[in-house]
Amino acid sequence: MSGHSKWHNIQGRKNAQDAKRGKIFQKISREIYMAAKSGGPDPDSNPQLRLMMDKARAANMPKDNIKRALDKATGAGGENYEEITYEGYGPGGVAILVHTLTDNRNRTASAVRTDFNRNGGALGETGSVSFMFDRKGYIAIAREELDVDEDQMFEDILEAGAEDMQASDDVFEIYTDPKSFAEVRDALEKKYDLATAELTMIPQNTVPVPEDKVEQLQRLIDRLEDEDDVSEVFTAAEFPED
C-alpha cells in the first residue's frame, strides 16, 4: 500500500461532500437503479445492490429515495445507462480516474474533457493511468476513545480476512480484496464502529501536490464531481497536511 493516508484526503473533502448531499443522493439512486436492474432487487442475492444500499445508508439517504430507485428498476422501461471510465492527468501531474454512469456518452465525454482542459488538466487515452490504481476494499476505524493497540487490531483484521493495515495516531486504515470486502466489513462491524467502508481505487503511489497547484487541482476535482454523470473521482494526489 502507498504510505500516504487515504484518510487525510477523505477528511479534507468531507465538508465539500456534505454541501453536495442532494446531488450525491441523485447519483446513488442511479447506482441503485443500475445494480437492481442488472442483478435483481433483492440485496441478499445481489451483492452489488447490497453495497449500493449500504452506501446510501452511510450517506443518510432517505428510505423513500432508495425505494423509488428500486421501484423504478423493477418497472417496465426506464433509462439505459452505461459505465464509462475516463483517465487523465491534473495539475502537478496527478493521475485521475473518473467513473461515470451515463445515458449519453457524447454529452459525458464533452463535459469531462472540458473540465480537464479548463482546469489545468489533460484527458488521456484508455489505459493511460488506470494501471497505477488497484481496486480495493477500504475500511477506516477512528482511534479516538478506542482502547485497542495496533497489534490487537492487526490480529483482528487478519482474522476477518483483510489484507493489510496502516495505523496513524487518529485512524486504522484497512485494505481488503474487493471480493472479500463485504465479509471483512461485516466481521469488523461486530467489534468496532466503522468510520468509512467502501470499494475504491487505491493509487499504487501518491504524488505530492505542489502548493501552487493545490487550488487548481481541487477546482478540477470539484468540477468533475459536480457533473451529473460522474459517479466517482479517484486521484493519486497527496495534498499538503494544511
In this predicted model, what pLDDT tens digit does every residue of 68-101 receive, in sequence order?
888 877 775 566 788 899 999 999 999 999 999 8
Name residue 97's beta-bridge partners.
Answer: 87, 234
- Res 219 pLDDT > 80: yes
CA distances, 122 to each of 14, 89, 107, 125, 220 (Å): 26, 5, 18, 10, 11
Provide the pLDDT for residue 50.
87
Any domain includes 29? yes
pLDDT at site 190: 94
- What is the structure's pLDDT at 15? 54
pTM recorded for the entire structure = 0.79
Residue 242 and residue 230 in contact, taking contact as beta carbons nearer than 8 Å:
no
| 125 vs 8, more confident | 125
Grid cell in block for residue 197: 467502508
Q: What residues contact residue 77 under an 8 Å CB cut-off, 6+ apart?
A: none
* Per-residue pLDDT at 3: 47
Cα(41)–Cα(52) distance, integer angstroms: 12
Q: What pLDDT does residue 116 have?
A: 98
DSSP state of 209: P
State the DSSP H helix or E strand holding residue 230, giving kind and residue range, or none if neither: strand 230-235
Number of domains observed in the structure of the chain:
1
- pLDDT tens, residue by residue, 16-63: 555 566 678 888 888 888 888 888 888 888 888 888 888 888 888 889
Q: Quick one: CA torsion of 135, 207, 154, 141, rounded to 10 degrees? A: -80
The pLDDT, as a whole number, for residue 39 is 84
In one letter, which amino acid is 110? S
Asked, for residue 229, whether it belongs to a domain, the answer is no
Q: Looking at the domain assignment, is residue 104 inside a domain?
A: no
Range of the domain at 43: 6-74
Distance CA 240, CA 211 (A): 7
- Say which residue, 79 or 212, is predicted with more confidence: 212
Q: Say if 20 falls within a structural domain.
A: yes
Beta-bridge partners for 136:
200
Percent of the chain with pLDDT over 90: 55
Instruction: Tell me the CATH number at 31.
Output: 1.10.10.200
Residue 31 lies in a domain: yes
Instruction: Flag whether 204 is in a domain.
Output: no
Within-domain flag for 109: no
Residue 236 lies in a domain: no
Tens digit of pLDDT for each residue in 165-197? 999 989 999 999 999 998 999 999 999 999 888
Question: How many residues are present in the chain?
Answer: 242
